[in-house]
A and B are shown apart, each in its own frame.
Chain A
Amino acid sequence: MSLVLTLASRNLFHDRLRFVATMVGIVFSVVLVMIQMGLFLGFGRMVTTMIDNASADLWILPKGAKCFEDPSLLDVKLRDRVATMEGVSWAAPLVIGFSDWRLESGEVTPVFIVSADLRDGSLQPFNVVDGNVPALTQGANVAVDRSYFERLGVSGVGSTAEIRGRKVRVVAVTDGIRSFATTPYVFVDLKNARNYTGTPRDRASSVLVRLKDDADREKALSAIRAEVGDAEVLTSDDFRSRSRSFWLFGTGAGAALFAGALLGVIVGTVIVAQTLYSSTKDHLNEFATLRAMGSSNAYIYTVIIYQALINAVIGFAIAAGIGSIVVQMTAKSALPIVITPWLMAALFALTVVMCVASGIGAIIRVVRIDPATVFMR
């Protein structure tokens, strides 16, 4: 181990109480930022889960539709016009909307109806763990997510309930299709979706379009835009961005998460800065001795920055351990915290920057050291 690193680590570990306080500060800060950003990512994924799993190439939407759950409607005849256009493989109407679910106990709870289209690549129940998805096309059958069993008063395939006074039967069960608004998604076929949501036969929430593999995508997109008039045509990526932007920033939820993360960074920086400054102050005589011996300022800065880096590495390792536990604990919750390798890397970089920036106060103090003071003590 280099002597600078040895000196830095001994300076840190010499006062164990202060080191523990520093670690608490860093861990608190990093875990707070990790959770906020993990919620942000989890939220971002959750609000686009239907778009992600539809695998349609284009979405035709009522003008100004902000997200998948937007209640606006458009003319369903658009579907017929687009389906026959060059480069289009198929086009399918999608109907969504809120409805009432009556449990066998008589209790009523709101649900969000999603019409399923069983064609390959269209929107249909995914992550299916039990039951028979094709059975959705027969009678009043539904698919629900098992995380909402209790809320919906069902126990699996074969359970029954009522939607808007019509008896329905669970024929398929999914896992992990959760709504961030906590309103359970219920997949039904298109005809039933109209009935349950009160959507007229000539209207639809959107039209999903699949292009042929050999289609000129730009050309097809332009042609469809020209054809649909007032309606909007978005690629899946554009619709995903728009939905995230609406839910995360249009509602202020994202800003709140970022504010929490920023608070974590500020708290962490202040705590680390305070402890590093206090540690440096306690070792001023040693730094003055180094300076008297002829050490450059850069050498002394290196000692302080190494102290900051040691803090960052140990603090981050502990925080990462806590973060992984939190991820596991929230995996099955309504809003799981998502921590990706990229987020982890970014958080480590943030921790290092935070700790090194915290050393600036200590460095400013050290710059003012007068080496002559060692002759006065």
Chain B
Amino acid sequence: MNDYVVEAKSVEKKLGRGAGEVHALRGIDLSLRRGELTLLMGPSGSGKTTLLLVLGCMLTPNSGSVTICGTPTADADKEALARIRREHIGFVFQSYHLFPTLTATQNVQLALDIRGEHGRRAAEKSREALAMVGLEQKVDSLPGGLSGGEQQRVAIARALVANPSVVLADEPTGALDGKNGQSIMRILAETAHERERAVLVVTHDPRVVPYADRIVEIEDGLIVQEPTDRPRMPTAVPFRA
């Protein structure tokens, strides 16, 4: 069985047009495996976010190929790309992007609702996902009543509730203090290791390095340091707050 759930080969991506055109990705080869937390690091403007968008099926490459769980994204239209995201990818955003008028449970349930899972069972699964990230006491709270760390945990529960094969996280600790950041990274590491998901974390934060199984460094649209296997940080410690 192929453990690679995301495979990018010779990916090139240009952004903008004419004089403003930027060659954001210049032939990227990157694969993400189940059970592995990969850090994507690099300076601002290096192409990290563009690569995340390409791997997350929000941008299509100008050349090269991206395959998600065996499904090529080339030639897929917007709806087909949305379907790939819906079926295989969970996203964690730096700014959480929770719906302010919905409770924590409803925010998580949205990820099931867009997949056609409705009703009591979906609500139950959403509460279980929140309990998994230590928020069983906050299921009925609105995002405005939660701390930044709690909001990010709701966002992670939302990303995980539908059991995606891959989790893409964009600066998930960027808006959090050290303690909350560590807590979030522990959850993501356990997601990779215990739940056998491929997790890619785009980050500037050196404090998260110990949680990585691999670190990929990107600069000027090129991977400058090939992924190397690193010893895993133990995640047996429960990550409940």
Q: Chain A interface (Cβ within 8 Å of chain B)?
A: 2-4, 6-7, 10-11, 14, 285-286, 289-297, 299, 370-372, 374-375, 377
Nearest first, the 4 closest Cβ-Cβ pairs linking A and B are: A294-B86, A294-B85, A10-B101, A295-B114
Bound CA span A374–B52, Å: 12
B152 CB, nearest partner CB in chain A, Å: 14
Is the pair B102, A6 in contact by a Cβ cutoff of 8 Å?
Answer: yes
Is the pair A3, B97 in contact by a Cβ cutoff of 8 Å?
Answer: no
B114 touches which of A14, A285, A290, A372 (Cβ 8 Å): A290
Is the pair A296, B79 in contact by a Cβ cutoff of 8 Å?
Answer: yes
Bound CA span A286–B94, Å: 15
B83 touches which of A10, A294, A371 (Cβ 8 Å): A294
Can you list 8 residue pairs at the A/B interface with Cβ under 8 Å?
Answer: A293-B91, A294-B82, A294-B89, A296-B83, A296-B114, A371-B58, A374-B95, A375-B52
Asked whether A6 and B86 contact (CB < 8 A) given A292-B58, A293-B114, A372-B58, the answer is no
Is the pair A3, B118 in contact by a Cβ cutoff of 8 Å?
Answer: yes
Is the pair B85, A292 in contact by a Cβ cutoff of 8 Å?
Answer: yes
Is B93 an interface residue when CB atoms closer than 8 A count as contact? yes
Stretch from B104-112, B127-135, B188-196 contacting the other chain: B104-112
Is the pair B106, A299 in contact by a Cβ cutoff of 8 Å?
Answer: no
* Chain A residues closer than 8 Å to B59, beta-carbon distance: 372
Chain B residue nearest to A14 in the complex (CB): B101
B111 touches which of A6, A291, A293 (Cβ 8 Å): A293
* Chain A residues closer than 8 Å to B85, beta-carbon distance: 292-294
A333 CB, nearest partner CB in chain B, Å: 46
Is the pair A293, B83 in contact by a Cβ cutoff of 8 Å?
Answer: no
Bound CA span A291–B111, Å: 11
Is the pair A375, B102 in contact by a Cβ cutoff of 8 Å?
Answer: no
Bound CA span A296–B78, Å: 9
Bound CA span A248–B83, Å: 56
Bound CA span A377–B94, Å: 8
Is the pair B101, A375 in contact by a Cβ cutoff of 8 Å?
Answer: no
B49 touches which of A3, A7, A375 (Cβ 8 Å): A375
* Chain B residues closer than 8 Å to A372, beta-carbon distance: 53, 58-59
Is the pair B106, A3 in contact by a Cβ cutoff of 8 Å?
Answer: yes
A375 touches which of B87, B113, B115, B170 (Cβ 8 Å): B170
Q: Chain B interface (Cβ within 8 Å of chain A)?
A: 49, 52-53, 56, 58-59, 78-79, 82-87, 89, 91, 93-95, 97, 99-102, 106, 109-111, 113-115, 118, 122, 158, 170
* Chain A residues closer than 8 Å to B111, beta-carbon distance: 293
Bound CA span A127–B207, Å: 91
Bound CA span A7–B109, Å: 11
* Chain A residues closer than 8 Å to B114, beta-carbon distance: 290, 293-296, 299
Is the pair B53, A375 in contact by a Cβ cutoff of 8 Å?
Answer: yes
**Interface of chain A, main secondary structure:** helix
Bound CA span A377–B171, Å: 12
Asked whether A296 and B82 contact (CB < 8 A) given A290-B114, A372-B58, A372-B59, the answer is yes
Chain A residue nearest to B118 in the complex (CB): A2
* Chain A residues closer than 8 Å to B101, beta-carbon distance: 7, 10-11, 14
Bound CA span A290–B52, Å: 17
Extra pairs beyond A286-B99, A372-B53 (11, CB < 8 Å)? A10-B99, A11-B101, A14-B100, A289-B97, A291-B82, A293-B85, A294-B87, A295-B86, A296-B86, A371-B58, A374-B93
* Chain A residues closer than 8 Å to B100, beta-carbon distance: 14
Bound CA span A347–B78, Å: 38
Is the pair A375, B93 in contact by a Cβ cutoff of 8 Å?
Answer: yes
* Chain B residues closer than 8 Å to A296, beta-carbon distance: 79, 82-83, 86, 114
Chain A residue nearest to B95 in the complex (CB): A377
* Chain B residues closer than 8 Å to A291, beta-carbon distance: 82
B53 CB, nearest partner CB in chain A, Å: 5
B102 touches which of A2, A10, A295 (Cβ 8 Å): A10
Chain B residue nearest to A292 in the complex (CB): B91
Bound CA span A299–B111, Å: 12
Chain A residue nearest to B93 in the complex (CB): A374
Is the pair B97, A374 in contact by a Cβ cutoff of 8 Å?
Answer: yes
A308 CB, nearest partner CB in chain B, Å: 18
* Chain B residues closer than 8 Å to A297, beta-carbon distance: 78-79, 82
* Chain A residues closer than 8 Å to B113, beta-carbon distance: 3-4, 299
Bound CA span A286–B95, Å: 12
Chain B residue nearest to A298 in the complex (CB): B79
Bound CA span A297–B59, Å: 17
* Chain B residues closer than 8 Å to A374, beta-carbon distance: 93, 95, 97
* Chain B residues closer than 8 Å to A286, beta-carbon distance: 97, 99
Bound CA span A295–B56, Å: 14
A293 touches which of B86, B106, B122, B170 (Cβ 8 Å): B86
Is the pair B110, A290 in contact by a Cβ cutoff of 8 Å?
Answer: yes
Chain B residue nearest to A377 in the complex (CB): B95
Bound CA span A286–B98, Å: 8
